């Protein structure tokens, strides 16, 4: 029995089955875009810790910053004593991602925690209870975040869920855009939102609308430009706060610091995590100062958010990202992946759609070229084939039939193409 199998058997014995795994791989170490498994086998990483290592595994400046900070201050809690690293990171994020003339920042431990706090802030700022979210959304697994999430597999049996959450159709052009151009399709869905205020919840009771500019777990569905810009106008019209979830799409993944920077839109609040800390547990809520300062004392915060070691890692990550021009790398990786996926789509009828923004790219596997017939089985087989041939790959989508690429953005073109070759070989063998 190999080392990997021993580890997986121990996982089965001591870890709840409900903590899922995309494929039977292990990790002993990692560098750049390669993971070394427990048996010493090199695996090309197209998962990136689920979009967490945009700057690569173990970037040397980040490793050094973690070690140095751990030697001086690991924890004291920002609620107990103010330390400069928290302020440095807040200032840096406000400068990179301004939300109007004055931006304030609170740090968190994760994306889900960022979402939870953004909703609390929005409700206090507006004095309204309702929140609108979208079909196919994923915002996390804590109670409010799970309520906002639109996948039964992530929430079955966990109710009752948080109240005053309303769900509306996502503008999914691949499935529902037939006969309309993208602008017409966007106008239709904006009209549906206006109608929603008359048949589901009055606009005057809505605190916030939360949306991912590019849906992550939902299958890399990109919000049409006209829709997001129209959504901003509707929020302004009714005094509703617009929350953009950039947890998976941020920090160079789409070729910009924020996916919303591809649009003529600035949110009232935005939520962040994942690649901010190169794998260290840190997230953030950014927002207009007037909104952020509306909270009552002690309603946000916690023991661990803005941990000094995590702040040091995040600052080093941002410095490193700027040094290597992470946004240019996101564009470069995205161009290569999109071109290869489009070629594969021409050769493999099972690929129904290729979509994404920058290096946040995916293709959807379907039967009979029908967008309403997901081929989940083929997707699982392809992930298994890739794992057997040295590539870590993960799925997305409500039905688990979408192959997504979240490789580190520092991946060398030769290694990126090698991974894409493995995907293509798998499709050839399995189709």
β-pairing, 283-288 with 269-272? antiparallel
Q: How many residues are listed for the chain in this entry?
A: 431
Q: What is the rounded average pLDDT of the residues 394-401?
A: 97
Average predicted confidence (pLDDT) for the chain: 97
Which residues, other chains included, contact 233 with Cβ-Cβ below 8 Å and sequence gap of 6+?
none
pLDDT of residue 153: 86
Give the CATH number of the domain where residue 44 resides. 3.90.1150.10
Residues 234 and 303 in one domain: yes
pLDDT of residue 431: 86
Confidence of residue 232 (pLDDT cuts 50, 70, 90): very high
pLDDT of residue 22: 83
pLDDT tens-place string over residues 296-319 = 999 999 999 999 999 999 999 999
Asked whether residue 68 is domain-assigned, the answer is no
Q: What is the rounded average pLDDT of the residues 71-85?
A: 96
* Contact criterion met (CB below 8 Å) for 55 and 32: no
Q: How many CB atoms within 10 Å of residue 192?
A: 13
Average the pLDDT over each of 13-17, 91-95, 237-241, 258-262 and give the range with the smallest value: 13-17
- From 272, 307, 324, the end of a domain falls on 324
Query: Token pair 């007037």 is at which residue?
Result: 290
Instruction: Give the 3-state secondary structure of the chain.
Output: CCHHHHHHHHHHHHCCCCCCCCCCCCCCEEEECEEECCCCCEEEECCHHHHCCCCCECCHHHHHHHHHHHCCCCCCCCCCCCCHHHHHHHHHHHHHCCCCCCEEEEEECCHHHHHHHHHHHHHHHHCCCEEEEECCCCCCCCHHHHHHCCCHHHCCCCCCCCCCEEEECCCCHHHHCCCCCHHHHHHHHHHHHHHHHHHCCCHHHEEEEEECCECCCCCCCECCHHHHHHHHHHHHHHCCEEEEECCCCCCCCCCCCCHHHHCCCCCCEEEECHHHHCCCCCEEEEEEHHHHCCCCCCCCCCCCCCCHHHHHHHHHHHHHHHHHCHHHHHHHHHHHHHHHHHHHHHHCCCEEEEEEECCEEEEEEECCCCCCCECHHHHHHHHHHHHHCCEECEEECCCCCEEEECCCCCCCHHHHHHHHHHHHHHHHHHC
pLDDT of residue 382: 98
Q: Which domain range does residue 287 map to?
A: 73-324
Confidence of residue 109 (pLDDT cuts 50, 70, 90): very high
* Contact criterion met (CB below 8 Å) for 363 and 372: no
Is the pTM for the entire model greater than 0.75?
Answer: yes
Q: What are phi and psi of 355, to 5 degrees?
A: -155, 165
Residues 204 and 84 in one domain: yes
Q: Which of 416, 420, 422, 414 is nearest to 384 (CA)?
A: 422
Q: What is the rounded average pLDDT of the residues 63-86?
A: 97
Asked whether residue 67 is domain-assigned, the answer is no
Asked whether residue 65 is domain-assigned, the answer is no
- From 281, 298, 324, the end of a domain falls on 324
Q: Which of 285, 250, 251 is nearest to 268 (CA)?
A: 285
- Is the pLDDT reported for residue 225 higher than 90? yes
Residues 329 and 411 in one domain: yes
Residues 85 and 23 in one domain: no
- Is the pLDDT reported for residue 28 higher than 90? yes
pLDDT tens-place string over residues 171-208 = 999 999 989 999 999 999 999 999 999 999 999 999 99
pLDDT of residue 102: 97
Structure-block tokens of residue 55: 């700057």
Distance, in Å, from the CA atom of 321 to the CA atom of 274, rounded to the nearest integer, reads 14
Asked whether residue 137 is domain-assigned, the answer is yes
Give the CATH number of the domain where residue 121 resides. 3.40.640.10
Distance, in Å, from the CA atom of 389 to the CA atom of 430, rounded to the nearest integer, reads 14
Confidence of residue 396 (pLDDT cuts 50, 70, 90): very high
pLDDT tens-place string over residues 254-281 = 999 999 999 989 999 999 999 999 999 9
Residues 151 and 190 in one domain: yes
Distance, in Å, from the CA atom of 146 to the CA atom of 157, rounded to the nearest integer, reads 12
pLDDT tens-place string over residues 315-349 = 999 999 999 999 999 999 999 999 999 999 999 99
* Contact criterion met (CB below 8 Å) for 251 and 410: no
Residues 147 and 284 in one domain: yes
Residues 119 and 217 in one domain: yes
Residues 120 and 30 in one domain: no
Asked whether residue 247 is domain-assigned, the answer is yes
Q: For the chain, how many structural domains are there in total?
A: 2
Q: What is the rounded average pLDDT of the residues 30-38?
A: 97
Q: Which of 34, 242, 256, 241 is nearest to 124 (CA)?
A: 241
pLDDT tens-place string over residues 115-166 = 999 999 999 999 999 999 999 999 999 999 999 999 888 898 999 999 999 9
- Order of all β-strands in the sheet with 391-392: 29-31, 34-36, 42-45, 391-392
pLDDT of residue 423: 99
Distance, in Å, from the CA atom of 187 to the CA atom of 79, rounded to the nearest integer, reads 46
pLDDT tens-place string over residues 346-382 = 999 999 999 999 999 999 999 999 999 999 999 999 9
Residues 204 and 292 in one domain: yes
Asked whether residue 172 is domain-assigned, the answer is yes
- Using omega within 30 degrees of 0 as the cis cutoff, is the peptide bond preceding 160 cis? yes
Residues 387 and 302 in one domain: no
pLDDT of residue 23: 80
Q: What is the CA radius of gyration of the chain?
A: 21
Asked whether residue 64 is domain-assigned, the answer is no
Residues 371 and 288 in one domain: no
Q: How many CB atoms within 10 Å of residue 218?
A: 22
Asked whether residue 32 is domain-assigned, the answer is yes
- From 277, 300, 324, the end of a domain falls on 324
Portion of the chain with pLDDT greater than 70, in percent: 100
Residues 193 and 337 in one domain: no
pLDDT of residue 15: 94
């Amino acid at each position: 029995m190999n080392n990997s199998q021993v580890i997986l058997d121990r996982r089965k014995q001591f870890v709840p089955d409900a903590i899922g795994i995309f494929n039977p791989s292990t990790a002993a170490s990692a560098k750049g875009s390669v993971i070394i498994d427990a048996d010493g086998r090199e695996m090309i990483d197209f998962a990136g810790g689920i979009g967490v290592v945009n700057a690569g595994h173990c970037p040397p400046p980040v490793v050094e910053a973690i070690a140095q900070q751990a030697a001086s201050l690991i924890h004291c809690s920002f609620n107990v004593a103010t330390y400069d690293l928290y302020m440095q990171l807040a200032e840096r994020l406000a400068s990179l991602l301004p939300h109007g003339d004055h931006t304030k920042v609170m740090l968190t431990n994760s994306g889900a925690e960022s979402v939870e706090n953004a909703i609390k802030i929005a409700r206090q700022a507006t004095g309204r209870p309702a929140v609108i979210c979208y079909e196919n959304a994923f915002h996390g697994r804590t109670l409010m975040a799970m309520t906002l999430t639109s996948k039964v597999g992530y929430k079955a049996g966990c109710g009752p869920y948080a109240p005053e959450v309303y769900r509306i159709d996502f503008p999914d052009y691949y499935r529902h855009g037939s006969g309309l151009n993208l602008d017409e399709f966007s106008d239709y869905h904006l009209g549906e939102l206006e109608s929603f205020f008359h048949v589901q919840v009055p606009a005057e009771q809505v605190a916030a609308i939360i949306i991912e500019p590019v849906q992550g777990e939902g299958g890399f569905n990109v919000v049409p430009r006209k829709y997001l810009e129209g959504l901003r106008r509707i929020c302004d019209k009714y005094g509703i706060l617009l929350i953009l979830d950039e947890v998976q799409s941020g920090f160079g993944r789409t070729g910009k610091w924020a996916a919303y920077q591809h649009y003529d839109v600035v949110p009232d609040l935005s939520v962040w995590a994942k690649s901010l800390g190169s794998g260290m547990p840190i997230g953030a809520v950014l927002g207009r100062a007037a909104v952020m300062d509306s909270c009552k004392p002690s309603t946000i915060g916690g023991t661990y958010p803005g941990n000094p070691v995590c702040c040091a890692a995040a600052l080093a990550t941002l410095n490193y990202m700027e040094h290597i021009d992470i946004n240019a790398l996101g564009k470069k990786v995205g161009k290569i992946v999109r071109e290869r996926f489009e070629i594969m789509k021409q050769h493999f009828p099972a690929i129904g759609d290729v979509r994404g923004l920058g290096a946040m790219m995916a293709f959807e596997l379907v039967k009979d070229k029908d967008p309403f017939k997901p081929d989940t089985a083929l997707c699982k087989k392809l992930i298994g084939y890739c794992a057997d041939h040295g590539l870590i790959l993960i799925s997305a989508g409500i039905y688990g039939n979408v192959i997504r690429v979240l490789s580190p953005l520092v991946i060398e073109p030769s290694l990126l193409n090698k991974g894409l070759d493995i995907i293509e070989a798998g499709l050839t063998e399995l189709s």
